[in-house]
Amino acid sequence: MNLSLNFSTCPNDTFMFYALVHGLLTDKYTFDVHMADIEDLNLLALEAKPDITKVSYGAYPLIAEHYQLLDSGSALGKGVGPLLISTESIPFEQVKHKRIALPGEHTTAHLLFNLVFPDVHDKRFYLFSEIEDAILNNEVDAGVIIHESRFTYQFKGLTKLMDLGDEWEKMSGLPTPLGGIAIRRSLPDNIKHDINRLLKESVEYAFQYPENTMGFVSQFAQELSTEVMRNHISLYVNDFSITLGQVGRKAIIQLISSSKPAYNFDERSVFVYE
């Protein structure tokens, strides 16, 4: 059976999906792979185009009618949150008056920023890799960075104002959910469970044989040093990426409910898990 599969070019995704898309786990399924920036993936999911896709948890409420979330493949944890940065210190009470760059309207970074700073009106959306330069070029006063920018902003003379994940963890007492893997609701249950199992095996393979994945990882992260790639993977791929468990599912339900408080997200309806 052939399925369309979308995921990002970021090291954590290429690391996790390596074994699955290279046919190391099964010949029952083949995949038409499309790789893109996370906000581009969110927009394709909003059109309900792929069978399986990486998606920001901030976007999930908008696609919940057509997709469920797999138990495996998530980026979720403590100390992993998007960072609010600038060239200089800005008092938090002044942030609402500033021009803020964000990495996509439907990203979890935008959702977390809104939870902490609900009164900001001048928000400007950029490709995540362009935000540091937007700050340095005075197009904006501050910006929220994700992915590998977390490891490079200091070398450009930029300063961290806040880890938005830390604020979420203080508010909720739960780890910070960033993104996960969504699968089309209309697929038969046995196929959804198969894909969840195979993705779990793919993550476990990557942990067991990390060196086997690095050629694929570096192919799509050509501008990153080996150290940054490894740090990126170490930060965003963890035990929650193998299985969310009760804590992971609770964190995701609480986060997505914060963006749609009137909607009752039922765990059994949202997730595909054993």
CATH number for the domain that contains residue 134: 3.40.190.10
Q: What are the residue ranges of helices labelled H in 90-187?
A: 108-116, 131-136, 164-172
- φ and ψ of 57, to 5 deg: -65, -25
* 221 and 253 belong to one structural domain: yes
Same domain, 191 and 63: yes
In this prediction, residue 223 carries a pLDDT of 67
Last residue of a domain, one of 129, 147, 172: 172
Query: Are residues 202 and 147 located together in one domain of the fold?
Result: no
Q: Which residues of 205-220 are buried (b: 16+ CB within 10 A; e: fewer)?
A: bbbeebeebbebbeee
- Mark whether 71 and 192 lie in a shared domain: yes
On whether the CB atoms of residues 204 and 151 are closer than 8 A, the answer is no
For residues 71 and 179, state if they share a domain.
Answer: yes
Instruction: Assess whether 120 and 245 both reside in one domain.
Output: no
Residues 153 and 87 in one domain: yes
* Catalytic (active site) residue 147: yes
Of the candidates 261, 236, 217, the one whose C-alpha atom is nearest the C-alpha of residue 82 is 236
Residues paired with residue 85 on neighbouring β-strands, in sequence order: 143, 160
Distance CA 114, CA 101 (A): 13
| Number of domains comprising the chain | 2
Each residue's pLDDT, cut to its tens digit, for the chain (274 residues) gives 999 999 999 999 999 999 999 999 999 999 999 999 999 999 999 999 999 999 999 999 999 999 999 999 999 999 899 999 999 999 999 999 999 999 999 999 999 999 999 999 999 999 998 999 999 999 999 999 998 888 889 999 999 999 999 999 999 999 999 999 999 999 999 999 999 999 999 999 999 999 999 999 999 986 678 888 999 999 999 999 999 999 999 999 999 998 765 567 888 899 998 6
Question: Are residue 72 and residue 185 in the same domain, yes or no?
Answer: yes
3-state SS, one letter per residue, for 31-64:
EEEEECCHHHHHHHHHCCCCCEEEEECCCHHHHC
Same domain, 14 and 71: yes
Candidate list 34, 147, 193, 232, residue with the active-site label: 147
pLDDT of 225 reads 87
Q: Which domain holds residue 163?
A: 83-172
242: Cα within 13 Å, side-chain hemisphere: 8
Alpha helices in the chain (DSSP H): 11-21, 38-46, 60-63, 108-116, 131-136, 164-172, 189-208, 210-219, 226-236, 239-242, 245-259, 267-270
Q: What is the pLDDT of residue 149?
A: 87
pTM, entire model: 0.94
- Among left, alpha and beta (phi > 0; psi -120 to 50; other), residue 130 is alpha
